[in-house]
Amino acid sequence: MIKNLVRGFGALSLALVSLLPSAAAQAAPAPEVTTLADAVGLVTVTEEDRTGYTRSKFKHWNGGDDAGDGCNTRNEVLLAEAVVAPTVEPGCKLTGGTWISYYDGQEVTRAGALDIDHMVPLAEAWDSGASAWTPARREAYANDQGADISLIAVTARTNRSKSDQDPADWMPPSPEAQCRYAGEWVSTKLRWQLTADDRELEALKVFAEGPCEDTVVRYRLAD
């Protein structure tokens, strides 16, 4: 519930927090903070190539961040984002609960009606640099809970409408969500050092230099 409230703290502030793997590790360095326009300028531009992509090359959902809770990544995200906590039954079956799908502003009261969206879809990540990663790094990407914005619980309808499209071809149907989405997209690209193609970058610039000029982006590099 707390995590969801943080996410909902307005479209102008976007949080991206990377957790260190060891509980004994020192505090994480401060995130990079910049405007959306400057953040867009930090993304490397190159042609995209989907050669060799299959969804199975990104292992998900794995056992999640808490190996002892009996829940996979999908259910851990659902638990973290619930505005009313569901009941957790044996086998991490979730019953009850309430979620807000920020892409379309819909309230959802059944976990099965939600998809967990990868902010930057797996196919888009492959096109943008993940094809050169190891299988372990692709698995880490596909299950990334180290940044609140990497995995988002949204209505199945909006997630499937988005599919593997980038912001040149798809934005959330709710206008109030679009600046937040643009910032979170760029944050994810910077976190994982993914590239963008020309059309994608130009679409992001339209938002960055227009209605989303006050949007702030915070990000840390993934481990």
pLDDT at position 21: 43
Residue-level pLDDT at 28:
64
CA distance 103 to 60: 22
CB-based contacts of 127: which residues, under 8 Å, 6+ apart? 48, 49, 50, 53, 197
Q: Residue 61: its pLDDT value, please? A: 97
3-state SS assignment for residue 195: coil
Report pTM: 0.86
Instruction: Give residues with Cβ within 8 angstroms of 157, minimum separation 6.
Output: 104
What is the model's pLDDT at position 100?
98
The Cα 70–Cα 62 span in angstroms is 11
| Adjacent-strand bridge partners of 155 | 114
Residues sharing a CB contact under 8 Å with residue 170, sequence separation 6 or more, in sequence order: 161, 162, 163
Compute the Cα dihedral for 211, 213, 218, 221 and give only its sign. positive
For the stretch 126-156, pLDDT in tens is 999 999 999 999 999 999 999 999 999 999 9
Q: Are 134 and 56 in contact (CB under 8 A)?
A: no
- Does the structure show a pLDDT above 50 at 36? yes
* Average pLDDT for the chain: 90
Q: What pLDDT score was predicted for residue 53?
A: 98
Q: Is 80 exceeded by the pLDDT of residue 180?
A: yes
pLDDT at site 31: 87
pLDDT of amino acid 4: 44
How does DSSP classify residue 52?
T
Task: Give the model's pLDDT for residue 164.
Answer: 97
User: Using one digit for the tens of pLDDT, what is the confidence trace for 5-26?
Assistant: 434 433 333 333 333 444 434 5
55-81 exposure pattern, b = at least 16 Cβ within 10 A, e = fewer: eebbebbeebbeeeeebbbbbbbbbbb
Strand pairing of 114-118 and 93-95? Answer: unpaired
**pLDDT reading at 113 higher than 70:** yes
55-80 pLDDT per residue, tens: 999 999 999 999 889 999 999 999 99
> What's phi and psi for 222, nearest 5 deg?
-70, 150
pLDDT at 158 over 90: yes
pLDDT for 38 beyond 50: yes
| pLDDT score recorded for residue 173 | 97
